[in-house]
Amino acid sequence: MNQKIAFIQKGRVPLASAYVARALQANFPQFEVEIIDIKQMLSRRKDIELANLLYTLKEYGRDISARRKPAKASFFRTTYLFRQIKALMAHRLNSREYVFSFQMQSLYDASRAGLPHFVYTDHTNLANLRYPLQDHSRLFSDAWVRLERGIYQNACHVFTRSRNITRSVVEQYGCDAGKVTCVYAGSNARFDGAPPDNDGYRNKNILFVGVDWERKGGPELVAAFRQVLRVHPDAQLTIVGCTPRVDVPNCRVIGRIPLADVAEQYRRASVFCLPTWLEPFGIVFIEAFAHRLPVVATRVGAIPDFVIPGESGYLVEPGARDCLAQALTALLDDPDRCRAFGARGYDIVRENYTWEKVGRRMRQTIAASLPQRI
């Protein structure tokens, strides 16, 4: 009998990989979950890495020079590397040794003929076309997209973190809707039940947590915050995760800090705001809800799955600075509304966004797909 589950990841980041591996182990205790790291495999094949540098320049050199595409992301989206990873995994996986394989994200195809394979992803390349200010020139190569289509077609089942990516896999990649399921994602924050330390949502502290200041809508938030100060001159803005130069009163830039310290910043806030332009999922929103914060965000990507306007927060269009200021002001005007929205967000997270529930949803589908193996 097969004894292992092959769990394929690209490095140890993000933290979701570790959580999903644990969830699979908890739901399939009869099998050992074996971690197979694509980056580690490639680190032992310098010939492939060096050759791929040339292919990266060949496929994306002009876009990298024009800053239309980042070099690091382009390196993992060449047709050469895609085929090399496919060959490496075909050699690495033995269908008699594993009960099934499971890959994180859709940057490579780790499937092997004869071995049931599952994919869990929060993005697709073509989904970017549905974001503001995105066009075909910012996508990765058409040849790579054709290979990406095979990732979903070769899988027994595709799990997604959000409904917009489920729609993308079905509508943009032609997958049967019956083999794509949104199982959501878990929170990296602990549900410790600790109450917020925000003076009953009266301290007027607006929290931003993000690394990519421009893409996450930082400049738009600062512009909106200037308007908020006209109504609430004692409002505060706290920026965590990056260190932009910000010339606005009552703003504290903290930068990158340990994850445990980020939790303390959530507890000290009254409102969470991240007016992002592009967001595959947005785990920070789930963490904010886990700390009972109301959320002001943009109507993009997965965010409408959990930010319900008038219930758990407010949604505005990307770049809509006046609307953003109005939403923030409305929350600072009414601490009771903040409390109610935060409580609803907390319930949404408990209902759908825990790794335990994600694991159980995956098990149900995997077991139904493999009745002779499980």
CATH of residue 122's domain is 3.40.50
pLDDT value of residue 353: 94
287 assigned to some structural domain: yes
Instruction: Note whether 108 and 252 are same-domain residues.
Output: no
Whether the CB-CB separation of 358 and 183 falls below 8 Å is answered with yes
Instruction: Note whether 101 and 137 are same-domain residues.
Output: yes
Q: Which domain holds residue 77?
A: 4-186+354-369
112 assigned to some structural domain: yes
Place of tokens 């490496």: 88
pLDDT value of residue 193: 66
Q: What is the DSSP letter of 194?
A: P
Cα–Cα distance for residue pair 128/154, rounded to 1 Å: 22
Instruction: Note whether 344 and 273 are same-domain residues.
Output: yes
Instruction: Note whether 170 and 50 are same-domain residues.
Output: yes
Mean pLDDT of the chain: 94
288 assigned to some structural domain: yes
Residue 146 CB neighbour total at 10 angstroms: 10
Task: Order across the sheet with 117-121: list the strands.
Answer: 32-37, 4-9, 98-104, 117-121, 157-160, 180-182
Cα–Cα distance for residue pair 263/293, rounded to 1 Å: 12
Instruction: Note whether 258 and 313 are same-domain residues.
Output: yes
Residues of the chain with pLDDT under 50: none
pLDDT value of residue 205: 99
200 assigned to some structural domain: no
Instruction: Note whether 209 and 256 are same-domain residues.
Output: yes
199 assigned to some structural domain: no
Tens-digit pLDDT profile for residues 64-80: 999 888 999 999 999 99
Cα–Cα distance for residue pair 161/173, rounded to 1 Å: 17
Cα–Cα distance for residue pair 203/197, rounded to 1 Å: 9
How is residue 353 written in tokens? 């966004």
pLDDT value of residue 192: 66
- The count of structural domains within the chain is 2
pTM (2 decimals)?
A: 0.91
52 assigned to some structural domain: yes
Instruction: Note whether 52 and 72 are same-domain residues.
Output: yes
pLDDT value of residue 137: 74
Question: Hey, which residues does 236 pair with through a beta bridge?
Answer: 205
pLDDT value of residue 189: 67
Q: Where are the alpha helices (DSSP H) in the chain?
A: 16-27, 38-43, 46-65, 71-75, 79-92, 142-154, 163-171, 218-231, 259-267, 283-290, 321-333, 335-352, 355-369
Instruction: Note whether 109 and 27 are same-domain residues.
Output: yes
Instruction: Note whether 108 and 26 are same-domain residues.
Output: yes
Instruction: Note whether 23 and 171 are same-domain residues.
Output: yes
Cβ neighbors of 270 (< 8 A, separation 6 or more) are 196, 198, 201, 202, 203, 204, 205, 206, 293, 294, 331, 332, 335, 338
> How large a percentage of the chain has pLDDT more than 70?
98
Q: What is the CATH number of the domain that holds 320?
A: 3.40.50.2000
Tens-digit pLDDT profile for residues 105-149: 999 999 999 999 999 999 999 999 998 877 777 789 999 999 999
Cα–Cα distance for residue pair 117/144, rounded to 1 Å: 20
Instruction: Note whether 159 and 22 are same-domain residues.
Output: yes
108 assigned to some structural domain: yes
40 assigned to some structural domain: yes
Instruction: Note whether 82 and 111 are same-domain residues.
Output: yes
